[in-house]
Amino acid sequence: MTAPVIAYNTFVVAVGVAAVGFAAGVVGSLCVLRKRALVGDAAAHATLVGVACGFLVTGRRDLATLLAAALVSAVAGLGAMVLLRRFTRTRDDAAIAIVIGVSFGLGITLVSGIPAWGYADSAGLEQFLLGHTAALTAADATLLASVACVAAIVVAIGLKEATLVAFDAAFAAASGWPVAVIDYLLVALVAVMVVAGLPAVGAVLVTALVVIPPVAARFWTDRVGTMLLLAGVIGLVAALVGVAVSAMRPGLATGPLVVLAAAAIFGVSFLIAPERGWIARRIRARTLADAWSRGLALDACLRAAGAGDGTFTPVDVEAAVAGDRQGGRRAGAEAFAALVRTAAVAPVAGGRDAWRLTAAGRALAEERRRRLDAWARVIEHDPDDAREALTIDLPAPGAVLGRTGAGS
Amino acid sequence: MNAAASGPSPASSSARPPLVDFHDVTVAYGRRPVVWNVDFEIDEPCLFGIIGPNGAGKSTLLKAALGLVPTVGGSVRFGGRPLREVRSRVGYVPQRETVDWDFPVNVMDVVLMGTYARLGWFRRPGARERELARASLDRVGLADLADRQIGRLSGGQQQRVFLARALAQEADIYFLDEPMAGVDMRSQEGIFRVLADLRAAGRLVIVVHHDLRTAAEWFDRVALIDMRLVATGPTAAVLTPENLRRTYAGHIEVLEELGRAVAARGRTS
């Protein structure tokens, strides 16, 4: 009798937690773009007080009651943060640190004290610390999913306003938008998502679900809308992985697994994202440096071609590149090899180690000098639009030869 | 009601309140005053420069006019009315460094933000707004870059994107905060041309600016500010050596001494 019921329950819980992961990523994106990433952490740590007080006051431990109480204390924590900032002139980061520390200390004291004070039936409150989805019922999951959907819909409706304030609050205020109200709504949404994430990820780690997916998503896109969706999907996947693994290994708390999954996605994004990723940036830098070395090598060939018998040895060229770049002989050797590959230089017949520029190589070298001259002129005289056209990449030898041939 | 009858009406023109009236504006950060009893009026649409040394409170004065910083005393009125009644008629170009240019939006997105106030809550920009934004980009010469991420623009281009956003506001009075900072000379000229076009279309353009040379060339009227108002009026009448000395007191004295020293050495040799 039990097997299918448990499977159904696990399925519903997974859907609910996935929805929470999605909405947390979406809401968190706005929070990160508004440079308020730590606000969620303050709210999260403040929830524990609410969970404990909710239990003490009502004597109930159903999820809806405890989460409602958690939301109240999260908002209270954020209110305390605002008051600290306004009336004691404490800086943002210090105010957040104070709220995190004090509310967490109070929350832990209450949660760990409750059993000692003789309350029966109080086991399970500490599960809000690190998250434990195994204890969730289908009804709980439905509640969480509903909250997540509402939060995501609110973001979809107010995306224009939130983006405006996040990008340029002064302009928004000057054109009449109530920036403070929009900010408070955003913070309230973050508090709601933090509370919705509590059962799955726990008070200590839930902020990671709000912050990591947006930062990971930013690597892949330059558009706000896409970033929100992507952050949602990343949050969803991370949440699912956490639920699945902790369902298979009941001893493991869900929260850390969710965070680790999100962190793994972040790590992969950081490495392999096409534009902003680390590898792509390294390759771009390397490609540019190589092109520059090739240009230097080509120029050395052109100079040598104009002197003596017009031939040169690879060692001359490598020395010229190495002397300019302090890149050692390797950069010079690679540059020369590239010139050989593209038939910009060719060996002189007769067996000596002597090389000459080909027609294509000469055209390319002269093109490079023309570009550098034009570049110097533009930098000196022209507005920045003209700089748009500048590039230090060299075209392929064939392309230049065709162009100069057509021009003359 | 009066706004509809904005055309010339000779009978009431003498009694018409000034376009912008800075009335005894005082702003302080903590107890330290930054703007001190600044009091002047702008009656006609023109290119108006607010000029002064670094830290003179020029930007603060502008932010006070836009309600972005609280005033200790005084008021700014627009055609006799408070800011909140005319907000949709006021355009704003903030300083470029005040935003994060790595923000995930493109040029078109930023310019469209100029139409948001008119759209109101929750309504998204449509075909009309896109057309307006495109036309605004065209006026600042950036029509080709509409789809570019804003982080991949040069400083001058970023400044012109902000200008295009203000154009999309379709305002009557424009406030620009140091729009020429970090912009090369040719782009500056382009920006000044757009501002001159706005004036020709009957708009009032108020620019916080620090370069005296271009100020003399472009502005119809200026106000010299060094915490307090030093002088205001037609540019040629205001930018006198005496007024400049009073505005730039510390800095110019140094220069004068240097000049005297050089002159003295020239005589002895």
E strand or H helix at B155: helix B155-168
Q: Is the predicted pLDDT of residue A403 greater than 70, yes or no?
A: no
Identify the band that residue A133 occupies on the pLDDT scale cut at 50, 70 and 90: confident
Tell whether B110 lies on the interface with A, counting CB pairs under 8 A.
Answer: yes
B100 and A167 within 8 Å at the Cβ level: the answer is: yes
Q: Is the complex ipTM more than 0.85?
A: yes
Q: Is residue B163 part of a domain?
A: no
B94 and A168 within 8 Å at the Cβ level: the answer is: yes
Cα(A329)–Cα(B33) distance, integer angstroms: 63
pLDDT value of position B31: 86
* Per-residue buried b or exposed e for B98-123, using 16+ beta carbons within 10 Å of the residue's own CB: ebebebbbbbbbbbbbbbbbeeeeee
Of all residues in chain B, the percent with pLDDT exceeding 90 is 70
Domain hosting B90: range is: 10-99+172-268
Q: How many angstroms away from the CA of A313 is the closest CA of chain B?
A: 42
- What is the number of other CB atoms lying within 10 angstroms of the CB of residue A130? 18
pLDDT value of position A126: 79
pLDDT value of position B67: 94
Q: Is residue B166 part of a domain?
A: no
Q: Is residue B140 part of a domain?
A: no
Q: Give per-residue pLDDT as tens, A203-225.
A: 989 988 999 999 999 999 999 99
The DSSP letter of residue B81 is: B
Average pLDDT, chain A: 87
What are φ and ψ of residue A26, in 5° steps?
A: -65, -50
Residues in B closer than 8 angstroms to A222, CB to CB, are 104-106, 149, 151
Interface probe, candidates A385, A387, A388, chain B, greatest B C-beta count within 10 A: A385
Q: How many domains would you assign to chain B? A: 1
Tell whether A385 lies on the interface with B, counting CB pairs under 8 A.
Answer: yes
Q: Give per-residue pLDDT as tens, A141-180.
A: 999 999 999 999 999 999 999 999 999 999 999 999 999 9
Q: Give per-residue pLDDT as tens, A39-67.
A: 999 999 999 999 999 998 888 888 899 99
What are φ and ψ of residue A209, in 5° steps?
A: -70, -25
Task: Choose the closest CB to A222 out of B149, B165, B186.
Answer: B149
Average pLDDT, chain B: 88
Q: Which residues contact A335 (CB under 8 A, 6 or more apart)?
A: A290, A293, A294, A296, A297, A317, A318, A321
Q: Is residue B159 part of a domain?
A: no
Identify the band that residue B5 occupies on the pLDDT scale cut at 50, 70 and 90: very low
E strand or H helix at B33: strand B32-42
Q: Is residue B37 part of a domain?
A: yes
B222: CATH? 3.40.50.300
Q: Is the predicted pLDDT of residue A134 greater than 90, yes or no?
A: no
Q: Give per-residue pLDDT as tens, B215-257.
A: 989 999 999 999 999 999 999 999 988 888 888 876 655 455 5
Give A360: exposed, middle or buried? Use CB within 10 Å, 0-12, 13-18, 19+: buried
Q: Nearest-CA neighbor of B65 among B39, B31, B29? A: B39
Q: Is the predicted pLDDT of residue A318 greater than 90, yes or no?
A: no
Please say whether the beta carbons of B51 and B216 come within 8 A.
no
pLDDT value of position A180: 94
Q: Go through the domains of chain A in sequence order and give each one's CATH number.
A: 2-273 (1.10.3470.10), 280-401 (1.10.10)
Q: What are the tokens at A170?
A: 């002064």
Q: Is the predicted pLDDT of residue A279 greater than 60, yes or no?
A: yes
Please report, to the nearest 10 degrees, the dihedral formed by the alpha carbons of residues A54, A56, A59, A60 taken in order.
30
**In this predicted structure, which of A173-177, A209-213, A331-335, B129-133 has the lowest mean pLDDT?**
A331-335
Q: Nearest-CA neighbor of B181 among B205, B154, B159? A: B159
pLDDT value of position A404: 44
Tell whether A273 lies on the interface with B, counting CB pairs under 8 A.
Answer: no
pLDDT value of position A270: 97
Residues in B closer than 8 angstroms to A166, CB to CB, are 103
Residues within 8 A of B (CB atoms), A 148-187 only = 157-158, 160-161, 163-164, 166-168, 170-171, 173-177
Q: Give per-residue pLDDT as tens, A221-239.
A: 999 999 999 999 999 999 9
- Stronger pLDDT, A288 or B70, i.e. the higher one: B70
Compute the average pLDDT of residues B3-10: 43
Residues in B closer than 8 angstroms to A37, CB to CB, are none
pLDDT value of position B253: 52
Of all residues in chain A, the percent with pLDDT exceeding 90 is 50
Maximum Cα interatomic distance, chain B, rounded to a whole number of Å: 76
Q: How far apart are the first and last CA of chain B?
A: 73
A171 and B154 within 8 Å at the Cβ level: the answer is: no
pLDDT value of position B6: 43
Q: Give per-residue pLDDT as tens, A340-397.
A: 998 889 988 876 788 989 988 998 898 888 888 877 777 676 656 666 656 656 555 5
Relative orientation angle of helices A138-167 and A63-88, to the nearest 10 degrees? 30
Q: What are the tokens at A118?
A: 């003789």
Task: Choose the closest CB to B92 out of A160, A166, A171.
Answer: A171
Of all residues in chain B, the percent with pLDDT exceeding 70 is 87
pLDDT value of position B7: 43
Q: Give per-residue pLDDT as tens, A251-269.
A: 888 889 999 999 999 999 9
